[in-house]
Amino acid sequence: MATSSCSKWLIFLFSMMFIVATSFKEAAATYDKKVYIVYLEPNPEGVQEREKQHLNILQKVVGGRSEADRLIYHYTVTFNGFAARLTDKERDKLAGLKEVLNVAPEKIYHLDEGVPGSSLGTKTLF
């Protein structure tokens, strides 16, 4: 009886170790990727055609390895482009394509967390 219980615990322990190791591997794979905004030539086609174009261009660079998972956002109204997670090597390869105008790193803007009203020359808002 004790051996059966012990073997169940060993199986459970090895299963958990496998799950943890797999999750660390996935986390490390996404750590080396940064978010870039890719600006493309204007495309007069509809939104669906532009989104297909974005996936096709990303597929050229990523090589069929989960390009849909890498794609973050489609820009289809103000300009033709997309945001994606890329390695530095993939970014350089993408920048060399003729359809690509520019590949810029994502820039995150933060709200000013200083003293309220300090930009207005007051000590408080009210």
Q: How does pLDDT run across 69-112, given as a tens digit for each residue? A: 899 999 988 899 999 999 999 999 999 999 999 999 998 877 76
Which structure tokens are listed for 111? Answer: 């709200």
**Which pLDDT value is given to residue 27?**
45
Output the average pLDDT for the chain.
79
CATH fold, domain 31-105, is Alpha-Beta Plaits (3.30.70)
User: For residue 59, how many other CB atoms are within 10 A of its CB?
Assistant: 14
User: For residue 57, how many other CB atoms are within 10 A of its CB?
Assistant: 20
* pLDDT of 15 higher than 70: yes
Quick one: average pLDDT of 46-65?
86
**Which pLDDT value is given to residue 10?**
74
Q: Residue 64: pLDDT band by 50, 70, 90 thresholds?
A: low
**Which pLDDT value is given to residue 120?**
61
User: For residue 54, how many other CB atoms are within 10 A of its CB?
Assistant: 24
**Which pLDDT value is given to residue 84?**
94
- Residues paired with 112 in a beta bridge: none
**Which pLDDT value is given to residue 72?**
93
Model-level pTM greater than 0.75? no
